[in-house]
Amino acid sequence: MSRERIRARIEEIGIVPAIRVPSAADALFAAKAISDCGIPIAEVTMTVPGAVEVISELARTRPELTVGAGTIIDVPTAVRCLDAGAQFLTSPGLDMRIVEFAAQHDVVVLPGALTPSEIMAAWTAGADFVKVFPCSVLGGAGYIRALKSPFPSIPLIASGGVTQGNVADFILAGAVGVGIGRDLINPEAVQRRQVDWIRELAGRFLQFVNAARSRRLA
């Protein structure tokens, strides 16, 4: 899948599920469940044991899934993930070397940024989206709204503290999408292998995002 199509899929769905679970088996289950539940995107974080192998397995066996690598903190890790089949890269903070590496290899990248200066730097360096993280601790949706005033054309992904109760607020504030972890990929649901539980959560988040988008366009 091309960089343009991956970027379009992330923007279309508007949800980037962050898989942060205690085992490779849990990660594989979570990625499959979330894809089967209508969100064909999975960010496998490097905190998962055997994360690179998980990415490789998903890339090989789930062609319908857009699989990415999350919590990338250095270029060597980005190289390993890309070699394993990752289709996008995300980082918790702004490391220009990671953004530049992704741009050089024509890979979708969502660097973490928090301040206006970091957002400007990330976008200028070639980021596809800028992940505002941790968003909730700096005012949540209000912070996104404040950032969209000077940066109306920069696609922001709100991440960190996104819940069922506030996801619509982030979209209404101008975020093009949201990053969601345990509030979507519930640890107990994963442990019990309860796909229906994850399907219910996925359906709710998709409904909230789509309804907020409709209100924003009205």
| 107 within some domain | yes
| 174 within some domain | yes
Q: Could you say which of 43, 100, 118, 200 is catalytic?
A: 43
| 209 within some domain | yes
Q: Could you say which of 4, 57, 100, 131 is catalytic?
A: 131
pLDDT tens for 77-133 read 999 999 999 999 999 999 999 999 999 999 999 999 999 999 999 999 999 999 999
pLDDT tens for 142-201 read 999 999 999 999 999 999 999 999 999 999 999 999 999 999 999 999 999 999 999 999
Provide the number of structural domains found in the chain.
1
| 203 within some domain | yes
Instruction: Report pTM.
Output: 0.96
Q: What is the pLDDT of residue 218?
A: 75
| 35 within some domain | yes
Domain residue limits at 100: 3-213
Active-site residue flag, 43: yes
- Helix (H), strand (E), coil (C) string for the chain: CCHHHHHHHHHHHCEEEEECCCCHHHHHHHHHHHHHCCCCEEEEECCCCCHHHHHHHHHHHCCCCEEEEECCCCHHHHHHHHHHCCCEEECCCCCHHHHHHHHHCCCEEECEECCHHHHHHHHHHCCCCEEECCCHHHCCHHHHHHHHCCCCCCCEEEECCCCCCCHHHHHHHCCCEEEECCCCCCHHHHHHCCHHHHHHHHHHHHHHHHHHHHHHHC
For residue 100, the domain's CATH number is: 3.20.20.70
Active-site residue flag, 32: no
| 218 within some domain | no
